[in-house]
Amino acid sequence: MTIADLNVGDIAQVVACKATEIPLKLMEMGCLPEQKIKILQLAVANGPIYLEVNGSFIAIRKETASQIQVKYLKQGANG
Amino acid sequence: MAKKTVNIALVGNPNTGKTSLFNALTGLKQKVGNYPGITVSKKEGFAKITAGLEANIIDLPGTYSLNPSSIDETIVLNYLLDKKNKPDIVLVVAEVEHLKRNLLLFTQIKDLGYPAILVINMADQLDRKGISIDIEALKKQLDSEVVLVSARKNKGIDQLKQVLANHKMLPSQALIKGEAIDKDLFETLEKIVPNQPLYISWLALTHPEVSLLSAEGQKKLNDLALSKNKIKQLQNRETIVRYQVINTILKGIYIKDYMKGSGLRSKLDRILTHQFWGYVIFFLILVTIFQSVFAWASIPMDYIDGLFSDIVHLLEQKLPAGKLTDLITQGIVPGIGGVLIFVPQIAILFFFIALLEETGYMSRAVFLMDKVMRKFGMSGKSVVPLVAGTACAVPAIMATRTISNWRDRLITILVTPFTTCSARLPVYAIIIALVIPDKTVGIFNLQGLVLMILYLLGFFMALLSGYILTWFLKQQNKTFFIIEMPSYKIPSFRNIFIRIVEKTKAFVFGAGKIIFTISIILWFLASYGFYTKQDVSNYEETLLEKKRSPKALDAAVANYKLEHSYIGTAGKLIEPLTKPLGYDWKIGVGLISSFAAREVFVGTMATLYSVGGQDDEGTIKERMAAETNTETGKPLYNLPVGMSLLIFYAFAMQCLSTLAIVKKETNSWKWPLIQLFGMSGFAYLMAFITYHIFS
């Protein structure tokens, strides 16, 4: 399962990122293994994903999100 | 005691309030220059620290780390590693909510061997966000000075100055040992480049594109021959190690109650990033901006226009008649007026853009628009330049630097000049007033509606040409898109004010110089020409035979002179080209001069009609309305001519300043030339079609 498979409100934990496939900047902003992420909003038509990870609020595109393996934790209460 | 000056560099993540701190320290004692060779603006300011100590402060672009992914971020790396102009102290600006992430950059700066001070901004938010920080313990752990400030409220600035006053005592030891990243590699680095902070050698190794070491040292590093993937893995490793160290440091020192503080963000985001309402709100914001710019700016613009025509009138009465007076009243004064008339629009537009950025809304617009913009070969981040382009394409094109992907950035640069910049507005305004009736259609004012359509046409053309460009410009690298969604903030009016002043000044002294110079050249070209005194008196004699009134005689003579002036000759020369569009040679002259800058059109018309005009009173508009077509005897500015002109100005690339900035930003003449000929050729074709549709 990757971030791209999650819905708004879902909480998951980062398992692994493909180092060569995701930008270094994403890791520098706190998206690291073992960190919890929460999906805050999805843009229409498979647009960017707005999420919170390690205290950072960021938006990334679906292609990048699909390179980050996560473990599903729970469905949050609607955002 | 002699005064001493220290050089201070301000660095920090975006959205930490770095600029607020810069403004709080320096006030309006700022100047904007350029870094050598590139157009990235370099902001420097001056601050008094103590009676005997002054500081020269450089506000570096925001960055998340010293591993750059855009031009702006590369500047930070280059600046900090430039051996010749090393800053004495580096202030690393952090903010309370994202301290952990901000510390990543701080540890990197420390490892470069700089005396670094951690400035934690937005301290007034601590309680509201449920955060507590043990500053004394943090100082110890970081082996550095730490100061809490709230830059927008001017709090903590004095404490910061006290710390700066004792800057000689600041420690400059590295925080993180390289062994944790790769033991063998760092031992090798130590051997290859001894006696310098290891982190510098590491950066030189991982960023071979920026030359940080001597040629010899760099060669030895290159001999290590690490693959790109290996470097990337090492950088990831570095990031993980740094976060581990930071987590250990912050344990027990930084405590956040996660139940508190994120209420406003989630409430606002639920609407502002909503899949439907988000777009409705974004559209309404844009409409409000453009409406306000037009409504609010028209009052001061009319005032400036009137003021300058009064000044001209006054000068004409007071000064002795002669060539010098003509130069002043027909060249210089209208030239200055032609520049100043844009100030209201530029100021109001930048007020809105600064407001959107200050509140944190702009990132939401980027988030919403990314998917749409990608269809047109751009990225969500292109929204900012395209909106800024409605003020002026020059700062807008500079704003594309945040787009890290080169193709997306290039397309954004190429299409931005289609957006309706404020230089087009005076041209539109005057032509609309001349040819579109001032009546109401439904709930809309017809003139306002036409203007609105022209705005939309600009955006539409920008998108359409972006789409066409994707056929020719293929994506070469993987595109990454990450944007931080900052927390919502109440805007600081000091920050907004300083920003407006900065942008307006840049326009007046940058583009203004060109407009002013051209106004004077135009006056010269219109006042002198290929005729002698003898020619004029011969012409007068032929007129005398026809027995005209003295006033009509003067007018005819003035027209004769203008027609045979240098510029009139040029206008006549291109008449075969402009005639199919319905323009006479005077409009042709306006078009030629507009290739320097569009707004010159209005000034040219003013110059042309005041040089050749029947009477000296009345505004430019009145003079243009009185102009008749010599063949039909009817008013020259009729609907087909007006519409054709509007379309021409909407599409043609007529701005020297923009071409210059595109050349600088793309580092090639190819792209500005493509813009010049592509856009203008298209404009000619469309203007031709428009003229014939309305005829």
- Sequence-ordered list of residues with C-beta below 8 angstroms from that of B423, at least 6 positions apart, any chain: B342, B392, B511, B597, B598, B599, B655
Q: CA–CA separation, B603 vs B554, rounded Å? A: 23
Structure tokens at B493: 């009016």
Containing domain of residue B112, as a range? 4-169
Q: How confident is the model at residue B531 (pLDDT cuts 50, 70, 90)?
A: confident
Q: What is the pLDDT of residue B260?
A: 66
Confidence of residue A19 (pLDDT cuts 50, 70, 90): low
Q: Are B386 and B377 in contact (CB under 8 A)?
A: no
Token pair 């390690």 in the structure block, residue: A54
Q: Side chain identity at B228, as an amino acid letter?
A: K
Within a domain: B90? yes
- Contact status of A26 with chain B (Cβ, < 8 Å): yes
Q: What is the pLDDT of residue B610?
A: 59
Six-digit token string for B367:
């988030």
CA B476 to chain centre: 27
Q: For residue B195, is pLDDT > 60?
A: yes
Are the Cβ atoms of A40 and B233 closer than 8 angstroms? Answer: no
Ranking B40-44, B333-337, B433-437 by mean pLDDT, the lowest is B40-44
- Window from B110-124, B200-214, B314-328 with minimum mean pLDDT: B200-214
Distance from CA of B310 to the nearest CA of A (A): 55
| Closest residue, chain A, to B229 (C-alpha) | A20
* Rounded Cα distance, B110 and B286, in Å: 43
Contact check, Cβ <8 Å, B485/A59: yes
Of the partner residues B64, B229, B233, the one whose CB lies closest to the CB of residue A29: B64
Rounded-to-integer distance, Cα B346 and Cα B394, Å = 12
Q: Say what the pLDDT of residue B679 is.
A: 94
pLDDT at residue B33, as a whole number:
57
Among B232, B256, B483, whose Cβ lies nearest the Cβ of A59?
B483
Q: Do A59 and B482 touch (CB under 8 A)?
A: yes
Over the stretch B66-102, which tens digit does the pLDDT of each residue have? 988 877 888 888 888 887 778 999 999 999 988 999 9
- pLDDT of amino acid B537: 81
Residue with tokens 């600029």: B19
How far is Cα B337 from Cα B348, in angstroms, rounded to an integer? Answer: 18
User: Do B587 and B431 form a contact (C-beta atoms < 8 A)?
Assistant: no
Report the percent of chain A where pLDDT is more than 70.
94
Q: B649-670, pLDDT tens digit by residue? A: 999 998 877 888 888 888 889 9
Count of C-beta atoms within a 10 Å radius of residue B170: 18
Query: Tell me, what's the pLDDT at B290?
Result: 74
C-alpha distance from B484 to closest chain A C-alpha (Å): 4
Q: What is the DSSP letter of A38?
A: E
- Give phi and psi for B7, each to the nearest 5: -100, 125
Residue B102 has a pLDDT of 93
CA distances from B578 to A23, B434, B590, B612, B628 (A): 53, 20, 11, 21, 17
Domain presence at residue B21 = yes
A78 touches chain B (CB under 8 A): no
Q: Report the CATH number that the domain containing residue B145 is assigned in CATH.
A: 3.40.50.300
pLDDT in the model for residue B388: 82
Dihedral-angle region of residue B45 (phi above 0 means left; psi in -120 to 50 means alpha; beta otherwise): beta
pLDDT of the residue at A58: 92
CA distances from B557 to B289, B306, B536 (A): 47, 28, 7
Mean pLDDT over residues B454-476, rounded? 90
Phi-psi region of B17 (alpha: psi -120 to 50; beta: other; left: phi over 0): left
Mean residue pLDDT across chain B: 83
For the ranges A25-29, B196-200, B280-284, the maximum mean pLDDT occurs at B280-284
Confidence class for position B39, pLDDT limits 50, 70, 90 = very low
| Distance from C-alpha of B458 to C-alpha of B190, rounded to nearest angstrom | 57
- For the segment B276-305, the average pLDDT, to the nearest whole number, is 84
* Residue B67, in any domain of the structure: yes
Provide mean pLDDT across the span B549-562.
72
pLDDT band for B619, please (50, 70, 90 cuts). low
**Mean of pLDDT values over B205-229:** 73
The predicted pLDDT at position B228 comes to 79
Q: Which pairs with CB-CB distance under 8 Å and at least 24 residues apart come from B81-88?
A: B81/B112, B81/B200, B81/B203, B81/B210, B81/B212, B85/B7, B86/B7, B87/B7, B87/B8, B87/B9, B87/B58, B87/B114, B88/B6, B88/B7, B88/B8, B88/B115, B88/B167
Instruction: Report if residue B281 sits inside a domain.
Output: no
Closest Cα to residue B210, out of B62, B71, B39? B71
Q: How far is the C-alpha of B608 from the C-alpha of B82, rounded, in Å?
A: 53
pLDDT for the residue numbered B305: 81
Quote the CA–CA distance of A53 and B345 in Å, as a whole number.
Answer: 41
Structure tokens at B620: 């430019």
A59: closest CA of chain B, how far (Å): 5
- CATH code, domain carrying A69: 2.30.30.90
In 3-state terms, chain A is what percent helix, strand and coil (to 5)?
Answer: 15, 45, 40
A13: which strand partners? A36, A71
Any domain includes B42: yes
Mutation pick from A14, A21, A41, A51 vs chain B, by most beta carbons of B within 10 Å, is A41
Of B266, B275, B480, the CB nearest to A23: B480
What's the rounded Cα separation, in Å, for the pair B175 and B200?
13
User: Domain span at residue A41?
Assistant: 3-75
- The DSSP call for residue B212 is -
pLDDT more than 70, % of chain B: 91
Inter-chain CB proximity A27 and B98 less than 8 Å: no
The tens digit of pLDDT for each residue in B556-596 reads 777 788 788 888 888 888 888 888 888 888 888 888 878 77
CB pairs under 8 A between A and B: 116
Q: Read out DSSP for B218-281? A: HHHHHTT---HHHHHHHHHHHHHHHHHHHHHHHTTTEEE-TTSS-HHHHHHHHHHT-TTHHHHH
Pairing of strands B145-148, B440-441: unpaired
**Least confident span in B156-160, B332-336, B451-455:** B332-336
Test mutation, B63, B480, B487, chain A, max A CBs within 10 A: B480
Distances (CA, A) of B441 to A35, B298, B444, B540, B640: 58, 21, 5, 50, 20
| CA–CA distance, B542 with B558 (Å, rounded to integer) | 15
**A55–B101: do the CB atoms touch at under 8 Å?**
yes
Number of domains composing chain B: 1
How many domains does the structure of chain A reveal?
1
A55: pLDDT strictly greater than 90: no
User: B596: which DSSP letter?
Assistant: T
User: Which pLDDT value is given to residue B616?
Assistant: 47
The closest alpha carbon to A30, from B65, B266, B90, belongs to: B65
Find the mean pLDDT for residues B372-384. 89
pLDDT above 50 for B613: no
The closest of A71, A75, A77 to A35, measured between CA atoms, is A71
Q: Which of B78-82, B231-235, B250-254, B628-632 has the lowest mean pLDDT?
A: B628-632
Helix B639-651 vs helix B670-694: crossing angle, to nearest 10 = 160
Query: CB contact, 8 Å: A29 with chain B?
Result: yes
Summarised one tens digit per residue, pLDDT across range B408-446 is 999 999 999 999 887 888 788 888 888 888 787 777 778
CA distance B341 to B305: 7
Kindly provide the ipTM of the predicted complex, given to two decimals: 0.93
CB contact under 8 A, A41 and B233: no
Spatial contact of B81 and B200, defined as CB atoms under 8 Å apart: yes
Task: Please tell me the distance from the alpha carbon of residue B114 to that of residue B356, in angstroms, as a whole number.
Answer: 35
pLDDT for residue B469: 92
